[in-house]
Structure 1
Amino acid sequence: MTSYKDHMLDGASPVDLVVALYDGIIRFLYDAIDAVEHADITARRASVKRALAIVIHLQTRLRMDIGGRPAQVLAEFYASIFALILQASVAADVQRFNRAIVCVREMRNAWRQIALQSAQPPATTAINTSRAFTTPATNIPESDASSRWTA
């Protein structure tokens, strides 16, 4: 017999799946913080490895040929988060892990907002495309996002 968790994402939209992956990154980063606070190097490395595996998965699934500028911004975000998580792990730095969590949570919330908007009936959905792909932390328009993107 399979568990509820095994079927939790059955039938989920692609956006819901991305949100679930962001949730996984956040969960593993909290696990890494807990490991740092308990001086458990093995647990920290395992948690970081799992968080980075999700970031890599998200990065490799980007379709640059179709996604255009938004995909490029996401690629830069994933590269920045990857670097920040690595720095946090090497330094066993809780503040850097927390900074990564804030960035991932903001991006997760942006995806969640997209999911909510796409769930509305087409006649009432109004997406402002000029702001649909801004960096969540600073609301920099997409044209400026890569030059000011920090994680």
Structure 2
Amino acid sequence: MTNPAYAKNAYISTDINNLSPLDLVIKLYDGAIGFLSKAVFSIEKKNRPMKIQYLNKTRAIVEELMSSLDMEVGGEVAVNLHDLYTYMLLELTRINSTDSVDKIYHIQELLRTLKSAWVEVKAIVPQSPATLRQHASIH
């Protein structure tokens, strides 16, 4: 009999491995936005351990987005994204100590704006592997 958790993880892994670089970036934004929603719910329920867990998951995603930036190829866009991600990481630290739901909403809005920009890039960029690698090199 197959372990359901194993099957789910295998499915998710296969799904992620089949994503283009742009799709992966978009999925990361979706994940961070979703974890922040769960952090808000945890704050409202006064569940500190869950809040910390979701803020840490969000932090991990933002750190992954930051570490995947190619500063040489991405130029000014990559520098600006790096600065924005640094700001988000600082705010996430502040949220952890203040439980500021407004700060969470602000970070979510920044993430939604960035996600929207990448969705637009995906819509106008030809989907050849070489082109995807070039555009994703910013990430």
Secondary structure in 2 aligned to 1:12?
coil
The correspondence of residues 1-150 of structure 1 with structure 2, limited to 5 A, is: 2-3=7-8, 4-119=11-126
Q: Name whichever structure is richer in helix by fraction.
A: 2
Identity within the alignment, %:
26
1:124 match = none
CA, structure 1 residues 105+75, in 2 after alignment: closer, same or farther (shift >3 Å)? same
* Greater than 6 Å deviation, 4+ residue runs: none
Post-superposition Cα deviations, 1:26-66, rounded to whole Å, max 9, x if no partner, equal 01101110110000110010110110011111111111122
Instruction: State the AA in 2 paired with 1:88.
Output: I
Instruction: State the AA in 1 paired with 2:124.
Output: Q
Q: CA deviation at 1:70?
A: 0.9
Secondary structure in 2 aligned to 1:9?
helix
Post-superposition Cα deviations, 1:2-31, rounded to whole Å, max 9, x if no partner, equal 344333233211011000011111011011
TM-score (norm 2): 0.80
Question: Number of aligned pairs?
Answer: 121
TM-score (norm 1): 0.74
Structure with more contact order per residue of length (Cα contacts < 8 Å, sep ≥ 6)? 2
Q: Provide the C-alpha distance between the structure 2 equivalents of 1:48 and 1:115, rounded to a whole number of angstroms.
A: 28
Q: Provide the C-alpha distance between the structure 2 equivalents of 1:67 and 1:57, rounded to a whole number of angstroms.
A: 16
Structure 2: give runs of 5+ residues left out of the alignment: 129-139
